[in-house]
Chain A
Amino acid sequence: MKSVLPVLTVVAVILGIWLLAVIPMNMHLVADQAQRDGAMVQPDTPVARQEYSGLGLALRNPDLIPLTYQFQRPRLPSPQQVAGEMYDTIIGQNITSRRSLVYHGWVTLAPTLLGFVIGTGLGILLAVGIVYSRVMDRSVMPWAIVSQTIPILALAPMVIVVLGSMGVQGLFPKSLIAAYLSFFPVVVGMVKGLRSPSAMQLDLLRTYHASGGQGFWALRLPASAPYLFASFKIGISASLVGTIVAELPTGARAGFGARMLVGDQYGQPLVSWAALFAAALTAAALVGIFSALERVTLRRMGMAAA
């Protein structure tokens, strides 16, 4: 609770910088528009105005400054415009409407969650295989690590189109990208976690004459919980970003990615900005849910977070 005030301060500073930046960023566009509407603008031709910086122009036409905050197609929308657009599209619309961000959010969230479940499930299985099989450890693990350095996200749109041309459409292709992105963080984290019991603890189980299965369920799996939660938090936000990127080539029908693209291509910056912040809020909420689960679970298990 004691970090509420510092967070608010930092947010206030960022908002202040943002509010100040709106003036020079939009000044040229506003001046052009004001002149078309018949107002007096100094200097009076767009070419001559290009000579001045946004700030210089604002100082010469102080009466235009308020207009930069209400401009319809700004380069940088003002915070209250973005907040208004978000309020409008989240609360002001029926959630089944295509104008509602909640609708688009669900379109993005569903493949993210499906992909995350597939990815983490397969990741945990592979991690168990790697920990118990020397061959898999030696042959697969180096590739699992190298594959994390490959910018696979950049290829997500291609994968979608190729799958689409093979007749695979809808939820599944997007989930595939989300699954891939959450897969490797879980593999690497789980391998670390399953190996985290010390030699002493493993020896103790051997003195109890515990079988391999008992050792797994009673020692290795519980010991990996903190690592698993850390991987979950990385994986779920990677999945969300993956799904958003994967939405780009689908003809921009629905979802956060589609909203951002539509806003960019049809000159509606407010739509883009609202989708951008909504996506970040969704990611923060998902990570927050896992943090809460982590705290509750680890406390009941009597452990601290890794």
Chain B
Amino acid sequence: MMYIGAALLIWIAGWLLNVRLANGQFSDRMAVKIAVPAIFGLTIVIVWELLVIGFQINPVILPAPSSVAERFVQEGPILWADFKQTVLKGALVGYLIGMVAAFAVAVLADRSPFLTRGILPVGSFMAALPIVGTAPILVRWLGSDWESKAAVVALMVFFPILVNTVAGLKDTAAMQRDLMRTYAAGYWATMFKLRLPAALPFIFNGLKIGTTLALIGAIVAEFFGSPTVGMGFRISTSFGQLALDMVWAEIVVAALAGSSFYGLVTSMEKRMTFWHPSQR
């Protein structure tokens, strides 16, 4: 009972602190902007810990954050091996393959308006093919190691990047294209100097959608067959052993990998599309 009371108190204290910080005179400072969500996240973790102890929740249902953190530190080497297998091999390779293929098809399709009108609806239909159906098929074709995961990821990221790139390549004004023509610029010069840079905000939009999809694809595909290493493999076997703290440790790894991958693409976007209104 004491723990539950403490949890309630800490929740109220954290919220009041945030109210003061967010409505106070320094609320537009960078430090406060970071502190407010950090305090919010921290209160949730503490309240979670206290409630798990207070209600004596079975660790098979919900482990306490402290035991997850303990697992995270103890099982470092295993988590690192899983990370290498799933993220560096499966997700990243597949992401790059899907990206290059999408660019190639987008540039090809862009040469003919006829093809563009055909590819976009078909592309959005193919993007709706659920991964649960495609993953087992690809695992059966390509074996259970990381190659099949890369193929699943490539298939998943291909369509969002394709659709966004095709839309982006259309985003130049007739005036701008005419200007290039007065410079006697050919197709490729116009492409690299005008149309690709103009398409970058759209392309990055597709790339950012792709980052999350890539991780989901690589992890879910491992549920359908994998060597004895990998995040999806670890999640399903640890779950079978009722070691939920290990499952949560993998969730933390997945969350960290997902947000840093997204952050990486966003920082590249900031550097390459500094001229766009949304970045200024």
Binding site for B on A (CB under 8 A): 2-3, 5-11, 14, 25, 75, 134-135, 137-143, 146, 148-151, 153-155, 157-158, 161-162, 165-166, 237, 240-241, 244-245, 248, 256-257, 260-261, 264, 269, 272-273, 275-277, 279-280, 283-284, 287
Name 11 interchain pairs, CB-CB below 8 A, sorted by A.
A7-B122, A9-B115, A11-B122, A134-B27, A138-B36, A143-B41, A146-B255, A149-B262, A256-B133, A276-B130, A284-B128
For the complex of A and B, the 9 pairs showing the least CB-CB separation, nearest first, are A6-B118, A276-B133, A10-B118, A139-B40, A283-B128, A154-B219, A264-B136, A142-B37, A149-B262
Residues of A within 8 Å of B118, CB to CB, are 3, 5-11
Task: Report the bound CA distance from A138 to B60 in whole Å.
Answer: 34
Chain A: CB-nearest residue to B125: A284
- Taking Cβ atoms with an 8 Å cutoff, the residues of B that contact A are 15, 18-19, 21-23, 27, 33, 36-37, 39-41, 60-62, 114-119, 121-122, 124-126, 128-134, 136-137, 140-141, 211-212, 215-216, 219-220, 223-224, 231-232, 235-236, 239, 244, 247, 251, 254-255, 258-259, 261-262
Given the interface pairs A3-B118, A10-B122, A284-B128, the reply to whether A135 lies near B61 with Cβ below 8 Å is: no
Query: Are B251 and A155 interface neighbours, CB within 8 A?
Result: yes
| Complex Cα spacing A154 to B254, Å | 10
A151-B133 contact, Cβ under 8 Å, with A6-B115, A146-B259: no
What is the chain A residue whose CB lies nearest that of B221? A154
Contact A280 B220 (CB under 8 A): no
Cβ contact of B61, chosen from A2, A166, A240, A277, cutoff 8 A: A166
Give Cα distance in the complex from A303 to B254, angstroms: 41
Residues in B whose Cβ lies below 8 Å from that of A240: 130
- Smallest beta-carbon distance B241→chain A, Å: 13
Q: Which of B36, B220, B255 makes the CB contact (< 8 A) with A150?
A: B255
Q: From B23, B124, B140, B247, give the contact of A158 (CB < 8 A).
A: B247
CA distance A235 to B118 in the complex (A): 25
Is A150 touching B37 in the complex (CB atoms < 8 A)? Answer: no
Residues on the A chain within 8 Å of B223, using CB? 157, 248
Contact partners of A139 in chain B: CB under 8 A? 18, 22, 36-37, 39-40
Q: Which of B40, B115, B232 contacts A143 (CB 8 A)?
A: B40
Could you tell me if A151 and B130 are in contact, using CB atoms closer than 8 angstroms? no
Q: What secondary structure prevails in chain B residues at the interface with A?
A: helix
Return the chain A residue nearest B37 by Cβ: A142
Question: Bound state CA distance, A8 and B117, in angstroms?
Answer: 10
Q: Which residues of B contact A148 (CB under 8 A)?
A: 212
Q: Which residue of A lies closest to B263 (CB)?
A: A149
Within the complex, the shortest CB–CB distance from B272 to chain A, in Å, comes to 20
Interface centre among A139, A141, A240, A260 (most CB of B within 10 A): A139
Q: Is the CB of B18 within 8 A of A138?
A: yes
A272 touches B261 (CB 8 A): no
* B211: A residues at CB distance < 8 A: 149
**B119/A150 in contact, CB under 8 A:** no
Evaluate contact between A272 and B61: CB separation under 8 angstroms: no
A10 to chain B, nearest CB (A): 4
Asked whether B23 lies within 8 Å of A134 as measured between CB atoms, the reply is: yes
A135 touches B19 (CB 8 A): yes
CB contact between B128 and one of A162, A264, A280 (< 8 Å): that residue: A280
| Cβ-neighbour of B22 out of A7, A8, A135, A165 (below 8 A) | A135
